[in-house]
Amino acid sequence: MTTNCEEAWAKCLNIIQENLPKPVFNTFFAPIVPLELKGSLLTIQVPSNFFYEYLEAHYIELIAKTLHRVIGSDAKLEYRVVVSKDDVTERPITVRLPGGEIPKNITNGKRTIIKGDNEKIGVYSIPGVEPIQIDPHLNPDYTFDNYVEGECNRLARAAGFAVAGNPAGTSFNPLFIYGGSGLGKTHLANAIGLEVKKNFPDKVVLYVDANKFLTQYMQATRDNNRNDFIHFYQMIDVLILDDVQYFADKQGTQEVFFHIFNHLHQHQKQLILTSDKAPVDLNGMEERLLSRFKWGLAADLQEPDFETRIKILKRKTYKDGIEIKEEILEYIASHVTNNVRELEGTLISLLAQATLNKKEITLELAKGMIDKLVKNTQREISIDYIQKVVCNYFSMSVDVLSSKTRKREIVQARQIAMYFAKNMTKCSLAVIGNAIGNKDHATVLHACKTVNNLIETDKAFKQDLDEIEKRLKM
Ligand code: ADP
Ligand code: MG
């Protein structure tokens, strides 16, 4: 039984590791001890309550999907939290998470419950004649209260607040929020949704990630449910579409969204869109859709300045009831500068380190950790890593890249690996050729040309490449 449990957990870790940046994996998953596997119930031990809460809040979906794959669709999970001997107030708690089939409502107090396979349930199948009850899929933590104001987000925040007070009644329709990754787009978009719900409980609000919209649409087309899909979205009063850049080059989805957009706009419904680029810089989008995006207000989010970074850190520590010395916060704020997600990540790793080692949070601890983190984020993607990701994507083993075969798929995978190695590392063509299949620099050059040509002429190929690039940058 025990080996069974360890084996199962080892398999889970393999999958989880593939899906997470190394520091996150090491911090949160490496310390977990598998205790028991009874039928489909897996029990794991985590070092503290903080771990349990953090895992639940951030990785439950990944964990659930992994368990379903390894243990089966009826997999269940229990956490056991280690009690420290010197802390008698902390009791062992065992939490049972339901399996995956039925998507329960997302939150239950502060505890998240496995969301199930949202893609599959297809929210659009909900019939809706009377005032409809739709789970708005908003994150209850992403409120305006928790959204620190600074020079970097003043306009977007103010516009968002105005929209929430008067949905579709301002000239900010659509409200288009754009900015780099980790700067707070998703948070702000959610805050608007929550505020609308607070002001107008009867309004139907829906937050949807563009990727999810895409998947739903594809499924609806396959199941001949396209009309239901469209009708569902036409019932929404405030539609929040996150990361609309994912619609690039997806013509079918763009077209259907164009109709939904028009319908909502004509019926005085509010649209909120986010994107990692300004409308003018969005490639692969139909012109008529882009021009709609420009109808309302496009507001950007910038990198936070020092003062805002400090405020954000203070807000987080205050919210979590943790006290950290000012000098430590200042140290963090002056070293982690370009994105709020990293800022939070640093704070969280620091807390994790401190609970894990039962240490106090000191400036030394912070310094040590930031040194590591900064090194990690500046890490150059290695050629080995590129080969691994490319082969993984095409489900082939890395070894075949150095085989002599002329099989088309293998030659192409090799060329793609060379292409990314040239673009993402500082290695010379000779070094790249040597590392990938022991070829010369001319072969690498030729590979890059071939790949560039294909990107321009072959849509499916380009999609493969985009997906690989995304995985490389994860
Ligand atoms: P994006 O969608 O732009 O990639 P997110 O909205 O996911 O970024 O933000 C990343 C993290 O940073 C989230 O945890 C969010 O709560 C936090 N965050 C971003 N901006 C702020 C802010 N102004 N105040 C407080 N937290 C913020
Ligand atoms: Mg986001």
Q: Are residues 194 and 313 in the same domain?
A: no
Q: Containing domain of residue 33, as a range?
A: 5-95
Q: Say whether both 392 and 366 belong to one domain.
A: no
Check if 183 has its Cβ closer than 6 Å to any atom of ligand 1: yes
Any ligand 1 atom below 6 A from CB of 186:
yes
pLDDT of residue 348: 87
Atom of ligand 1 nearest to the CA of 308: 23
| Helix 459-473 × helix 441-457 angle, to 10° | 120
169 shares its domain with 244? yes
What pLDDT does 94 receive? 41
Chain mean pLDDT for the chain: 84
Q: What is the pLDDT of residues 150-203, one digit of tens each?
A: 999 999 999 999 999 999 999 999 999 999 999 999 999 999 999 999 999 999
Asked whether residue 215 carries a pLDDT value surpassing 60, the answer given is: yes
Please compute the mean of the pLDDT values over residues 449-455 and round it to a whole number: 94
Distance 180 CA to ligand 2 centre (A): 9
User: H or E element: which one contains 242?
Assistant: strand 238-242
* Cβ(185) – ligand 1 distance below 6 Å: yes
| Domain identity same for 272 and 255 | yes
Where does the pLDDT of residue 302 fall: very low under 50, low under 70, confident under 90, or very high at 90 and above? very high
* Statement to judge: residues 185 and 40 lie in one domain: no
The residues placing their C-beta within 5 Å of ligand 2, an ion, are 185-186
271 and 146 fall within a common domain: yes
Q: How confident is the model at residue 379 (pLDDT cuts 50, 70, 90)?
A: low
pLDDT band at 18 (very low <50, low <70, confident <90, very high): confident
In the numeric block, the tokens 């997600």 are attached to 341
Residue 100 lies in a domain: no
Whether the predicted pLDDT of 293 surpasses 70: yes
- 3-state SS class at 41: strand
Q: Is 178 in the pocket of ligand 1 (CB under 6 A)?
A: no
- Kindly state whether residue 188 falls inside one of the protein's structural domains: yes
Distances (CA, A) of 277 to 176, 238, 342: 10, 22, 20
Residue 408 has pLDDT above 70, yes or no: yes
Cα–Cα dist 443/418, whole Å: 9
Least Cα distance to 113 among 125, 124, 102, 126 occurs for 102
Please report whether residue 430 resides in a domain. yes
Pair of tokens at residue 120: 């599959």
Structurally, the chain folds into a number of domains equal to 4
Measuring CA to CA, which residue among 144, 38, 48 is closest to residue 89?
A: 48
81 or 394, which is more confident: 394
CATH code for the domain in which residue 11 is found: 3.30.300.180
Q: In this model, does residue 417 exceed pLDDT 80?
A: yes
What's the CATH code of the domain at 196? 3.40.50.300
Say whether both 228 and 319 belong to one domain.
no
46 and 123 within one domain: no
- Mean predicted confidence (pLDDT) in 261-270: 96
Q: Is residue 61 part of a domain?
A: yes
For residue 387, what are the contacts with CB-CB under 8 A and spacing of at least 6? 398, 401, 417, 435, 436
Assign residue 345 the CATH number of its domain: 1.10.8.60
* Residue 209, phi then psi, degrees to nearest 5: -80, 140
Of 373, 393, 428, the last residue of a domain is: 373
User: Which ligand approaches the C-alpha of residue 277 most closely?
Assistant: 1
pLDDT reported for residue 455: 92
Mark whether 294 and 310 lie in a shared domain: no
Residues 6+ apart with CB under 8 A from 90: 49, 81, 83, 84
Tens-place pLDDT, residues 92-139: 444 434 333 323 332 322 222 223 333 332 233 233 334 456 889 999
259 and 159 in a common domain: yes
Residue 188 CA: nearest ligand 1 atom is 6
* Half-sphere CA count of 40, side-chain side, radius 13 A: 15
Whether residue 315 sits in one domain with residue 255? no
- CA atoms within 13 A of residue 168's CA, in its CB half-sphere: 19
Strand pairing category for 175-178 and 205-209: unpaired
C-beta 144 within 6 A of ligand 1: no
* Domain final residue pick, 248, 271, 301: 301
Residue 259 belongs to a domain: yes
What gap in Å lies between CA 225 and CA 198, rounded to an integer? 33
DSSP H or E stretch at residue 210: helix 210-222
Residue 368 lies in a domain: yes
Residue 71 placed within a domain: yes
pLDDT tens readout for residues 313-359: 999 988 878 888 999 999 999 888 888 998 998 898 888 888 877 77
In which element (H, E) is residue 239 found?
Answer: strand 238-242
Ligand with minimal distance to 179 CA: 1
Name the more confident of 3 and 454.
454
Burial class (CB within 10 angstroms; exposed 0-12, middle 13-18, buried 19+) of 280: exposed
426/147: higher pLDDT: 147
- Pick the last residue of a domain from 95, 128, 148: 95
Q: Is the CB of 148 under 6 A from ligand 1?
A: yes
Q: What are 63-100's pLDDT values in tens digits?
A: 988 998 999 888 888 888 775 444 433 344 444 343 33
Instruction: Decide if 101 is inside a domain.
Output: no
C-alpha span between 211 and 234 (Å, rounded)? 19
- Ligand 2 centroid to Cα of residue 407, in Å, is 40
Residues 368 and 259 in one domain: no
* Residue whose pair of structure tokens reads 């507001």 in the numeric block: 299
DSSP class of 83: P
Q: Give the type of residue at 438.
A: N
Q: Cα(225)–Cα(230) distance, rounded to whole angstroms?
A: 9
CATH number of the domain residue 397 falls in: 1.10.1750.10
346 lines ligand 1 (CB under 6 A): no
Ligand 1 closest atom vs CA 146? 25
Give the closest residue (by CA) to ligand 1 atom 11: 341
Q: What is the residue whose two structure tokens read 């754009």?
A: 178
